[in-house]
Amino acid sequence: MKKVLLLLLATAFAASSAPKNLEIYWIDAEGGASTLIVAPSGESMLVDTANRTADDRDAKRIFATAQKAGLKKIDILVTTHFHGDHYGALQALAKMIPIGMFMDHGESVEIARPNVAAAYKAYVELAGTHRRILKAGDKIPLKGVDLEVVISANNAISKPLPGAGTPNPICADYKPHPADVDPDNDQSVGFVLKFGKFDFLDLGDLTWNSEPKLVCPVNLIGKIDLFQTSHHGLDRSNSPQLLAAIQPTVAIMNDGPHKGGQASVFETLRKVGGVRDIWQGHLALDTPKEINSPEEMIANFEATPECKGNLLKVSVEPDGKFTVTNLRNSFSKSYVAK
């Protein structure tokens, strides 16, 4: 009897103390951005809230993902920048699930545009006293992981992250692009999330012209295990200087049927070395099929009206092994953190 009880207690203890995984979900927003991070502690951080549509498509997709992850609230919302494809669904989402803290780069630099001013004002009112403006070098307090802001409001960290700091040999070849027509992209909050040996880099829609702040002449970021391609995989971002510096083992592209996923971004990713796979939220319909990733690594194929919004998910074990799963077909593949 005693033995049985002890065994039961031991089993219960093992179940409650078993180390938990970090989980990251990419919500398909037809070319918008929304990434849900659930720390092993159970706390959650949502990065961006995608598009506003008449039927609240993206808010519903984000809410369904939060429910799938077992969340009752979003502890932290990071809005990388104030473009409609990154916070359009926020007002609708906030009616579906409570949001704890609102973090962002500070006032939109496009505030002189009337539609931007109205949306930004609604954001400020919703966030109220729960708002925090992030600066490079700040830590985002998501329990169970280490989250450092590497760029915000176009100011980057000045010292390399631990283990980084080597010169980037291809900076001499860097050529700037013409100035971006939507300057809030370059205000994007970018962060590195570390969980044990694993690291994940998300730079929002930071463009080509600001990427050298992080990787030239010295690589301040270092090599990364998982990279959410900047700007939905548009070639206005994702310079060879950035990609060669971070050499991500896995890239996840939050592209849409007709947004991002540009051929030159695939080509650069495949050329820089170290990149094992590129997973896509969507088949990029304007890019040749053979340049897109193999079908099993693409979550959605259809044009927007027929699209079901299948998720991509990454599960990271405490020892650094991480598994990407396409929830359309359950195809998955595991990788080892560097």
Cα(69)–Cα(5) distance, integer angstroms: 32
Closest distance of CB 106 from Zn ion, Å? 16
Of the candidates 57, 61, 83, 236, which one interacts with Zn ion according to CB under 5 A? 83
Query: Phi first, then psi: what are they for 236, rounded to 5°?
Result: -75, -10
Tell whether residue 205 is a contact of Zn ion (CB under 5 A). Answer: yes
The first and second tokens of residue 130, run together, are 């729960």
Closest CB to Zn ion: residue number: 83
- Which parts of 266-285 interact with Zn ion (CB under 5 A)? none
Residue 217: asked if its preceding bond is cis (omega within 30°), the reply is yes
Closest distance of CB 267 from Zn ion, Å? 21
Closest distance of CB 260 from Zn ion, Å? 8
- Which parts of 125-144 interact with Zn ion (CB under 5 A)? none
Among left, alpha and beta (phi > 0; psi -120 to 50; other), residue 305 is: alpha
For Zn ion, the closer CB: 185 or 280 = 185
Closest distance of CB 300 from Zn ion, Å? 17
Tell whether residue 28 is a contact of Zn ion (CB under 5 A). Answer: no
For Zn ion, the closer CB: 39 or 50 = 50
For Zn ion, the closer CB: 110 or 225 = 110
- Cα within 13 Å of Cα(57), Cβ side: 19
Cα(229)–Cα(237) distance, integer angstroms: 9
Tell whether residue 262 is a contact of Zn ion (CB under 5 A). Answer: no
Closest distance of CB 233 from Zn ion, Å? 10
For Zn ion, how many residues bind (rule: CB under 5 A)?
Answer: 4
Closest distance of CB 248 from Zn ion, Å? 19
Of the candidates 75, 85, 110, 235, which one interacts with Zn ion according to CB under 5 A? 85
Cα(275)–Cα(153) distance, integer angstroms: 29
Q: DSSP letters of 131-171?
A: EEE--TTPBP--TTSEEEEEEETTEE-SSPPTT---B-TTG
- Which parts of 142-201 interact with Zn ion (CB under 5 A)? 185
For Zn ion, the closer CB: 164 or 307 = 307
Residues of 292-306 as b/e, b for ≥16 C-beta within 10 angstroms? bbeeebbbbbeebee
Q: Indicate the helix (H) or strand (E) that contains 70.
A: none
Residues in contact with Zn ion by CB under 5 A are 83, 85, 185, 205
